Amino acid sequence: MCLGVPAQIIEVVDNELHTLQVSLNGIKREVNGSCVWTENPQALVGRWALIHVGFAMSLLSDDEAQQTLAALAELGASEHEMEDFAGLNQAANIKEMDS
């Protein structure tokens, strides 16, 4: 499954190519902003966008971005718990096969 990730638009890099620079947790990337482009692209600076495969797919409110980032962080924590559980389950299956 592929997920979009919220990132904050920090710069308009190229008006002709609709390129934006975004930042997430201090990591900066250039993305294509064609899906969110406006007549005044400088107004995008400071806004949050949902980034997927190098494209700013849609704009998010600050609240939506923070809620999504919190949910992703929680999923990351849950993923570790699921991996731990899967490891225990796998060990149990191996034990059964050895019996």
Give the model's pLDDT for residue 81.
Answer: 62
The pLDDT of 15-21, averaged and rounded, is 97
pLDDT at 50 over 90: yes
- 44 close to 30: Cβ distance less than 8 angstroms: no
The pLDDT of 16-45, averaged and rounded, is 96
Give the model's pLDDT for residue 96.
Answer: 55
The pLDDT of 9-35, averaged and rounded, is 96
Instruction: Identify the weakest region by mean pLDDT among 1-10, 26-35, 38-47.
Output: 1-10
Q: Which domains does the chain have, with CATH numbers?
A: 5-98 (2.30.30.140)
Q: Please count the CA atoms within 13 angstroms of the CA of 76 that sit on its side-chain side.
A: 7
pLDDT at 43 over 90: yes
Residue 21 CB contacts under 8 Å (≥ 6 apart), including other chains: 9, 10, 11, 12, 13, 28, 29, 30, 31
Give the model's pLDDT for residue 88.
Answer: 55
Q: Please count the CA atoms within 13 angstroms of the CA of 84 that sit on its side-chain side.
A: 6
